[in-house]
């Protein structure tokens, strides 16, 4: 099947283009990868892949964008909204794709039709689209703020699954005071441990704060992203939680956990690797509760302790608050972009549109059909209980070097049906590698009654002037949040004597102006 037979000499099957991609430790060679070979066979377009390293990608990409030696296209090379705004809207070095998508991308047009909000999310302030997005409707990622509690410890303590913050306090105290791990030594248990220096959903406060106030602040998000500042929307008004009474209540609760020895003090100096080591250390289990997007982010999934951790549902707080943020805005700008200087724009857009087809998505993610995956057979059911789409024949991984697929360094169409379409055998243990997707699907579905997506801040586009105006205040605000939020929780900073000063410092740093800029951008797009 040749996609490039029409057009002039600049758009023929003999075309050769250069594409900037991310070099990944699990991809041996982009140019000889089986997915690369398959795409050339399918489309007739010869692509020469130029890589930048995954580690340090932001700096490498900045150098590429600052140069005048642009490739014909960029794919999943680390671009974000700021890049698109500067190099697309302002400088015109990325090509606007509206007409090209209309004429050459039937698969992407189908995605837009099935997801009415997507086209608007991708449209920049000048009314143009510069990015063909990666579609990854990861259901369990929409509520990755999950908490896991040790069911063996619960049974040993004679406690039921807690449903309120008061009940959780009672449970954690039992973990602290009773010999729930059977070691014969009361006090060697760690009731609750987390990590603040890295991971996925490992922060100690994300889950629990939502029993007091709406809280979606990802403080370690090292960018100008709204969630790094705690921005959210309530009835069309952009807000932050910092001056809300519920936030202060939540801080006091979290600090109480520290003062009572219920939240491990090492939480504030650990990353996810250290958290795994803590959970797995010792002759007997020690940790009673830990947060994470999935169990492998705080434990060894092949070990004996991982199956002990079961999901805790969002807890009702003292004022009746019981919720969890659900992020439905699953489109980013780290997609496929075309250089304004290329002579092969239409061919590149058709090439990229091919990647939204089911077989291409499967080959790009798993590797060749027949050896790495097969289509589902009649009667086989997926994670959601509906007819399945596919069966992986080899475990997916992104650690060991291979040359079968592109890991996740590509665009694809992994929509909700795709994500739930993997065959699941009900005899498969949930707490196994093969059962992970089902466990996460079922856990997320159980959290749906508590999901709050209405208040999640949608991605808004800031103009170059707006970005410039708030760049310094955002840095100062993020530094203050990192210092004081975890300082108040850990006890390094005194809530009673320093909280008012913390709010004043946020105001002095320009928080009100930052919120006003985001409000203006939000109004322009969503009101």
Mean pLDDT, residues 232-259: 97
Residues forming a β-bridge with 309: 150
Q: For residues 169 and 121, state if they share a domain.
A: no
Mean pLDDT, residues 474-496: 95
Q: How far apart are CA 94 and CA 393, in angstroms?
A: 39
Residues forming a β-bridge with 402: 27
Phi, psi of 298 (to 5 degrees): -135, 0
Report DSSP state, residue 94.
Answer: B
Q: How confident is the model at residue 12 (pLDDT cuts 50, 70, 90)?
A: very low
Structural domain includes residue 511: yes
Handedness of CA 361, 367, 368, 374 (dihedral sign): negative
Give the Cβ contact number of residue 239 at 10 Å: 19
Residue 394 has pLDDT above 60, yes or no: yes
pLDDT value of position 492: 97
Q: How far apart are CA 444 and CA 419, in angstroms?
A: 13
Q: Which helix (H) or strand (E) holds 83?
A: helix 81-84
Residue 319 has pLDDT above 80, yes or no: yes
Token digits of residue 526: 């969503």
Closest residue by Cα to residue 148 from 443, 451, 384: 443
Domain boundary among the residues 394, 424, 454 is at 424
Q: Which helix (H) or strand (E) holds 209?
A: helix 206-209
Q: How far apart are CA 87 and CA 352, in angstroms?
A: 20
Domain boundary among the residues 401, 424, 447 is at 424
Contact 210, 168 (CB under 8 A): no
Question: What is the CATH number for 62?
Answer: 3.40.190.10
Contact 46, 379 (CB under 8 A): no
Q: For residues 129 and 155, state if they share a domain.
A: no
pLDDT value of position 6: 32
Classified as helix, coil or strand, 128 is coil
Structural domain includes residue 440: no
Contact 415, 361 (CB under 8 A): no
Structural domain includes residue 47: yes
Q: How confident is the model at residue 223 (pLDDT cuts 50, 70, 90)?
A: low
Q: For residues 41 and 101, state if they share a domain.
A: yes
pLDDT value of position 221: 60
Q: How far apart are CA 264 and CA 177, in angstroms?
A: 15
pLDDT value of position 331: 85
Q: For residues 137 and 194, state if they share a domain.
A: no
Classified as helix, coil or strand, 173 is helix
Least confident among 2-6, 194-198, 359-363: 2-6
Q: Which helix (H) or strand (E) holds 475?
A: helix 464-490
Q: For residues 374 and 296, state if they share a domain.
A: no
Between 15 and 431, whose confidence is greater? 431
As a dihedral over the C-alpha atoms of residue 13, residue 16, residue 20, residue 22, rounded to 10 degrees, the angle is: 70
Contact 97, 109 (CB under 8 A): no
Q: How confident is the model at residue 68 (pLDDT cuts 50, 70, 90)?
A: confident
Structural domain includes residue 186: yes
Residue 33 has pLDDT above 60, yes or no: yes
pLDDT value of position 116: 82
Q: For residues 6 and 101, state if they share a domain.
A: yes
Structural domain includes residue 445: no
Q: How far apart are CA 218 and CA 417, in angstroms?
A: 28
Closest residue by Cα to residue 147 from 196, 228, 220, 204: 204
Q: For residues 418 and 496, state if they share a domain.
A: no
Q: For residues 414 and 498, state if they share a domain.
A: no
Phi, psi of 199 (to 5 degrees): 135, -160
Q: How far apart are CA 463 and CA 86, in angstroms?
A: 9
Q: For residues 357 and 309, state if they share a domain.
A: no
How many domains does the chain fold into?
A: 2
Token digits of residue 41: 């066979």
Helix/strand/coil percent split, the chain, to 5:
40, 15, 45
Token digits of residue 508: 């002095």
Q: Where are the beta strands (DSSP E) in 257-346?
A: 289-291, 309-312, 324-325, 336-338
Mean pLDDT, residues 87-105: 97
Residues forming a β-bridge with 18: 48
Token digits of residue 248: 């202060």
Structural domain includes residue 377: yes
Q: For residues 248 and 334, state if they share a domain.
A: no
Mean pLDDT, residues 333-338: 96
Q: How far apart are CA 271 and CA 189, in angstroms?
A: 20
pLDDT tens per residue, range 104-122: 999 999 999 998 889 988 9
Domain boundary among the residues 367, 394, 424 is at 424
- Residue 501's contacts (CB-CB under 8 Å, 6 or more residues apart) are none
Contact 308, 442 (CB under 8 A): no
Q: For residues 166 and 88, state if they share a domain.
A: no
Query: Which of 224-238, 284-298, 386-400 has maximum average pLDDT?
Result: 284-298
Report DSSP state, residue 193.
Answer: -
Q: How far apart are CA 164 and CA 272, in angstroms?
A: 27
Structural domain includes residue 456: no
Domain assignment of residue 88, given as a range? 1-142+328-424
**Alpha-carbon separation of residue 299 from 3, 245, 294 (angstroms):** 46, 35, 9
Contact 82, 467 (CB under 8 A): yes
Q: How confident is the model at residue 2 (pLDDT cuts 50, 70, 90)?
A: very low
Structural domain includes residue 458: no
Q: For residues 152 and 250, state if they share a domain.
A: yes
Mean pLDDT, residues 468-478: 91
């Amino acid at each position: 099947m040749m996609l490039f037979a029409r057009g002039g000499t600049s758009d023929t099957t003999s075309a050769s283009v250069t594409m900037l991609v991310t070099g990944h430790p699990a991809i041996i060679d982009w140019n000889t990868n089986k997915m690369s070979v398959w795409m050339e066979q399918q489309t007739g377009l010869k692509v020469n892949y130029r890589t930048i390293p995954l580690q340090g990608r932001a700096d490498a990409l900045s150098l590429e964008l600052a140069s005048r030696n642009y490739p014909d296209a960029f794919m999943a090379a680390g671009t974000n909204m700021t890049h698109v705004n500067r190099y697309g809207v302002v400088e015109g070095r990325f090509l606007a794709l509206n007409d090209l998508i209309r004429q050459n991308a039937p698969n992407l047009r189908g995605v837009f039709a099935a997801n009415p909000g997507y086209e608007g999310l991708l449209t920049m302030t000048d009314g143009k689209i510069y990015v063909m997005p990666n579609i990854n409707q990861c259901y369990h990622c929409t509520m990755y703020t999950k908490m896991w509690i040790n069911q063996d410890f619960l049974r040993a303590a004679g406690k039921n699954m807690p449903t309120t913050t008061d009940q959780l306090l009672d449970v954690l105290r039992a973990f602290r005071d009773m010999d729930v791990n059977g070691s014969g030594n009361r006090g060697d248990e760690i009731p609750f441990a987390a990590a603040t220096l890295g991971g996925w959903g490992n922060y100690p406060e994300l889950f629990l704060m939502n029993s007091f106030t709406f809280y979606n602040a990802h403080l370690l998000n090292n960018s100008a992203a709204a969630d790094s500042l705690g921005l959210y929307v309530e009835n069309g008004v952009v807000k932050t939680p910092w001056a809300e009474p519920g936030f202060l209540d939540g801080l006091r609760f979290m600090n109480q956990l520290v003062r009572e020895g219920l939240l491990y003090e090492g939480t504030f100096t650990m990353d996810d690797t250290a958290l795994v080591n803590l959970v797995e250390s010792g002759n007997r289990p020690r940790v009673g509760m830990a947060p994470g997007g999935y169990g492998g982010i705080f434990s060894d999934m092949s070990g004996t302790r991982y199956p002990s951790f079961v999901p805790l549902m969002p807890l009702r707080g003292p004022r009746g608050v019981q919720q969890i943020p659900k992020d439905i805005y699953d489109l980013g700008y780290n997609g496929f972009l075309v250089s304004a200087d290329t002579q092969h724009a239409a061919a590149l857009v058709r090439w990229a549109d091919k990647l939204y087809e089911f077989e291409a998505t499967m080959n790009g993610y798993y590797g060749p059909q027949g050896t790495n995956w097969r289509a589902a057979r009649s009667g086989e059911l997926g994670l959601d209980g509906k007819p399945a789409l596919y069966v992986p024949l080899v475990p997916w991984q992104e650690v060991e070097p291979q040359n079968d697929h592109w890991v996740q360094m590509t665009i694809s169409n992994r929509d909700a049906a795709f994500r739930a379409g993997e065959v699941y055998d009900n005899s498969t243990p949930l707490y196994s590698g093969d059962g992970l997707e089902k466990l996460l699907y079922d856990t997320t579905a159980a959290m749906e009654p508590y999901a709050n997506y209405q208040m999640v801040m949608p991605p808004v586009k800031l103009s170059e002037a707006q970005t410039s105006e708030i760049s310094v205040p955002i840095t100062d605000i993020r530094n203050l949040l990192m210092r004081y939020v975890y300082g108040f929780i850990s006890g390094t900073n005194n809530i009673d004597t320093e909280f008012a000063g913390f709010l004043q410092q946020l105001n002095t740093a320009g928080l009100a102006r930052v919120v006003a800029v985001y409000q203006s951008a939000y109004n322009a797009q969503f009101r």
